[in-house]
Structure 1
């Protein structure tokens, strides 16, 4: 199952890297970039998180909140945040139910083999909680720059 433009974004309440919980519904009225990544502190996921961190001010200036989601435990997410100075919330979906609801968990190709895991994806959710864009199998490197271009935020 995958989401597309106009679909309702599946709501969730998940624990964060800071020990709080984050509920998607609480972000209504704001645009949200929700990005799914396989594992904190791995090279590709670190590159992607740092790209979002480095572009956060311009995304927020354009009205976007950024949230990262992975199956990592909150304690590992806290270490990731501290190690790499991540300045946006990271949420933990350990049972992968939210990732599955977004179509960001399932079969994928990894080094030529079919495996089951997190499909690196990005979802842009509008102020009313609907999917504006759903991008699957995105690349860790260069994705934030492409997203900025797609959203018309290029400098």
Structure 2
């Protein structure tokens, strides 16, 4: 996430300040950042499963971006009012609930369609077998060295 700020957020926000002003430039910038996250995650998911994109992961990030933009808008609109503190407390709970609900709704289907659990299991077994073979080679070498010439 720290790579997005200097590589995407700052340049996009700087470009948009001229168009919409400093106060509101963050909104389209946040949406742009979440759109980039959506595309990156869809690309990673494609490389895992080599199947056509279902765009469920992208929907998660795009909906999350809209929710964050709405939160920023509400925060700016209520700044300096008595509702500001209530918004801060309520928005934390709402955002956490939003992420959990959307995560359980949109993340599992593409992962299950691409047999990610089975692939992870096979890769884990492969790594364990590699380490066992490496261990056997190291034991053989240490025995040869210990027995002498």
TM over 0.5: no
Return the structure number with greater relative CO, CA threshold 8 A, min gap 6: 1
Structure with more of its chain in strand, by fraction: 1
With normalisation by structure 1, the TM-score equals: 0.23
Structure with more of its chain in helix, by fraction: 2
Rg larger in structure: 2
